[in-house]
Amino acid sequence: MFIVVTGASASGKSEYAEKRIMELTPKSESAIYIATMQPYGDEGRARVEKHRRQRAQRRFETREIYLDMETAEIPKGKNILLECMSNLAANEMFARQEPQSAAMLKTRIIQGIQHLLDCSENFVAVTNEVFSDTMQYDTQTLAYIRLLGEINQALAVLADEVIEVVYGIPVFIKGGSKA
C-alpha cells in the first residue's frame, strides 16, 4: 500500500503518518524511517537530534538519506516512512553543483519514490501543502513550489490513499476511510 500524507506546517501530518505506518507494521518488526532533513547550523542539528531521540523510543530504524533515493539501499519487503518530500525536493534542487531542469528533477525524484515503492511492503510519504497561501515569492522559491506541487500530483496518481491532515484530523482525498 502507498499512502501520501499532506498538510500545512504543524498540522499533525507527521504524527499521523508515523501512526499509520506502525499500524501496518507487525509488532515484532521495525519500520524504516527515511529522514530527508539535512541539519544546518546548531538549531538544525538540535532538531534532528530531538527527532532521533523520539524515534528511538518507537520501532523505527532511521536512515538519513538526503539525495538520490533511486540508489538508496533498502531491504526488500520492509515498511517505509519517508519524512518528507519537501526536504527531498529542496535537497535535489539546491544541493547539487550543476543546476537541473524542473523536468529532470521531477523525473529523478519520482524514480526514487518508485525505487522505494519497489522495495517496500507498505510506504507512507509525508509532504507539504503548497500554493495554499497568497504570498508573492521570488523566482527560485516559486520554481521550488511548482516542482513540489508537480511531485505531489504525481504521487497522488501513484498512491492508494491520499490524506490531508487538517488540525490533526485526517481528511481522505483518495481511497480509504480510516481515521
6 belongs to a structural domain: yes
For residue 106, which of 89, 94, 119 has the smallest C-alpha distance?
89
- Residues of the domain holding 87: 2-174
Q: Which residue has the cell 500554493?
A: 131
Query: What is the pLDDT at residue 72?
Result: 97
What string of pLDDT tens digits covers the 179 residues of the chain? 999 999 998 899 999 999 999 999 999 999 999 999 988 889 888 888 887 787 777 889 999 999 999 999 999 999 999 999 999 999 999 988 888 999 999 999 999 999 999 999 999 999 999 877 778 889 999 999 999 999 999 999 999 999 999 999 999 999 986 54
43 belongs to a structural domain: yes
113 belongs to a structural domain: yes
CB of 82 within 8 A of CB of 128? Answer: no
Query: What is the pLDDT at residue 98?
Result: 85
The DSSP secondary structure of 8-58, one letter per residue, reads STTSSHHHHHHHHHHHHS-TTS-EEEEE-PPP-HHHHHHHHHHHHHHHHTT
Query: What is the pLDDT at residue 177?
Result: 64
132 belongs to a structural domain: yes
88 belongs to a structural domain: yes
Other C-beta atoms closer than 10 Å to the C-beta of 170 total 22
In this structure, what CATH number is given to the domain that contains residue 26? 3.40.50.300
Query: What is the pLDDT at residue 178?
Result: 54
179 belongs to a structural domain: no
44 belongs to a structural domain: yes
90 belongs to a structural domain: yes
> What's the number of domains the chain is made of?
1
CA angle 36, 170, 175 (to 5 degrees): 90
Query: What is the pLDDT at residue 73?
Result: 95
Q: Could you check whether the bond before residue 119 is cis, i.e. omega within 30 degrees of 0?
A: no
Please give the Cα distance from 75 to 116 (Å, whole number).
10
161's enclosing H/E stretch is strand 161-166
